[in-house]
Structure 1
Amino acid sequence: MKTNDEIVDTLIELKNEQHLTLSELARRVNMAKSALSRYFNKTREFPLNNVDAFAKALHTTPEYILGFKENEIGSLTDSDRRILRINKMLSSDRQEKVYNYASDQLDEQNN
């Protein structure tokens, strides 16, 4: 499992990748902005009992945040992780469009 600092760094990275403000993230996890700020400033320990809410709000898994699993599909690059996070934020019909586009690109590359 990651240390408190590593967990907070992961949360900050996910928040920034998704262009969320601290206020918006606080709203999504039903927490006061001031409390969230203390966690992000590392002046208080991140509350592990809230990891599920953060995972849902940041479109990831609790395991990823806590570092129990490197990722869900084996060893991925940073680029792979970014694509997966974006894909999780899309509606199912848009996810299908991304899949079809990627599949077409792969076919084109291989032919």
Structure 2
Amino acid sequence: MVFDSDVLIKAAQSASISSMSIQEYVAECISYEKHRHDIEHSKQNMYERKAYAGQIFRFTVVWCFGLFIIIFGCGLGNLKLSDTVITAFIGSTTLNVFIFFKLVTEYLFNKEDPHS
């Protein structure tokens, strides 16, 4: 939010302020607006984190379900893949899912600065 100091000063001069100077009033107004902005920013971050956490969960479930279908198809004999290919597929997809999940959650749920 952009502050117009002239408007704040005029408002402070026209208001009946008994125990505050104009500078204190302006500083308090700016502090209030900054606090309000921080609250809105935190609300938006919480909303986005919840949305992305749900998307990560759904993606991981779909990925694992696809892996299960391929393994199940190989077990029933409907899908012909060698043991080396199956092992490489299971290992690489599982590793990719875990790395993807870890990177995204570390970014979304950063512990260092909760307001970023």
With normalisation by structure 2, the TM-score equals: 0.21
**Larger helix share, 1 or 2:** 2
Larger radius of gyration: 2
With normalisation by structure 1, the TM-score equals: 0.21
Q: Structure with the greater relative contact order (CA < 8 A, sep ≥ 6): 1 or 2?
A: 2
